[in-house]
Amino acid sequence: MTLHPQYITDTAGEKLVVLSISEFNSIMDELDAVEDVRLYHEAKKQDDGERIPMAEVLKKLDTNRKIMDK
């Protein structure tokens, strides 16, 4: 990724960075991907190996839907 930052200084002397919207969006996309990887690794650490068959999940969802429809 190539960035073309511009630097400005506000009235308090604080330096700020200005990016084009496309560069900003690229950075946000990268941060999103990094967060996804972090969450994946966090989930893997907490994985106890227990799995629920899809048929059982669908059955529970159907049961809950029927209860909610009453």
Q: How far is CA 19 from CA 12, 39, 45, 57, 68, in A?
A: 21, 28, 37, 46, 49
Q: With a cut of 70, list the residues of the chain below it in pLDDT.
A: none
What secondary structure, in 3-state letters, does the chain show?
CCCCCEEEECCCCCEEEECCHHHHHHHHHHHHHHHHHHHHHHHHHHCCCCCCCHHHHHHHHHHHHHHHHC
pLDDT at 20: 97
Give the global pTM.
0.61
Q: What percent of the chain has pLDDT over 90?
A: 89
